[in-house]
Amino acid sequence: MKRFAVAVLLVVSLSAVAACGSSEDDGSAASASANGSPATASGSSATITLPDGWALTDALTAEEVGAVTGRAMEVFPEASSAAQDGKPAGSFLATGVDGAKIYFGVNVSGGQAGYDDMLSYAESGSVEDVSGVGDKAVTVAFSDGRAGIIVLKGDAVIRVDWDPTVYPDDPADFGGRLAGALLAGMYR
C-alpha cells in the first residue's frame, strides 16, 4: 500500500511540475491570447497586455466596432481621453447617421470603487446584470437617454454607451459584444 501511495504522489508531483514548466501554455489568459485564442472576458487573472499610456485605438478598431454594429464606423477622438493617466477614451461614429456615436472609456486602475462610481450615474431601476463579460457587468440607462454597459475586469473599469434609438438591439447582447471586443484587444 505504501508503494502505491508513493507512486501516486510521484505522478501527481511530476504532473504539477510539467504543468508549471510548460513553455507552450502557462494557463493564463494572456498566454491563451498569444497562442491565437482570445483572452476570456470572464477570467480575472489576466493583465492588460498593452503598454502603459495606451490609447483606445490601440485596443479597438473602427472595423471591429463595425463588425458588431453592422455599419461602417469611423474613429471619433474624445477630449476626455487621458491615456497617459490610465484613462483612455474614444468614440466611433456610423458614417452619416445622426446620433450614431458609441463611446468607450476605460479606467485601468479604477477597481471596485471606479465600478461603483460608474454605477452611480445609472438611472434608478435600470441596472441589469450581464453574464459572461469581465468579472462582473451590468447594462444601465443614463439620464441623457443613452444605454450603456459597465464592466469590471481585474482593476479595469470599462464603460460603453450608445443611443438605443439608433442601436435598438438587446442592450445586454449589444453592449456585451462591444465590451467583449474591447476586452479582447486589451488582453491579447
pTM summary value: 0.76
What stretch of H or E contains 149?
Answer: strand 147-153
Instruction: Please tell me the chain's helix, strand, coil percentages from 3-state DSSP, rounded to the nearest 5.
Output: 35, 25, 40
- Cell 483572452 found at: 39
Helix or strand or coil: residue 167?
coil
CA-CA distance, 178 to 65, in Å (whole number)? 7
DSSP three-state, residue 144: coil
Give the helix/strand (H/E) hosting 129.
Answer: strand 128-130
* Three cell numbers, residue 175: 453592449
Amino acid at 162: W
pLDDT at 4: 35
pLDDT digits (tens, 9 = 90+) for 148-185: 999 999 999 999 999 999 999 999 999 999 999 999 99
Q: What is the pLDDT of residue 95?
A: 87
- Show pLDDT as tens, one digit a residue, over the chain (188 residues): 444 333 333 333 333 333 333 333 333 333 233 323 333 333 344 689 999 999 999 999 999 999 999 999 999 999 999 999 999 999 999 989 999 999 999 999 999 999 999 999 999 999 999 999 999 999 999 999 999 999 999 999 999 999 999 999 999 999 999 999 999 999 98
CB distance 96 to 133 below 8 Å: no
Q: Give the pLDDT score at 42.
A: 39
Nearest to 126 by CA among 110, 159, 149, 92: 149
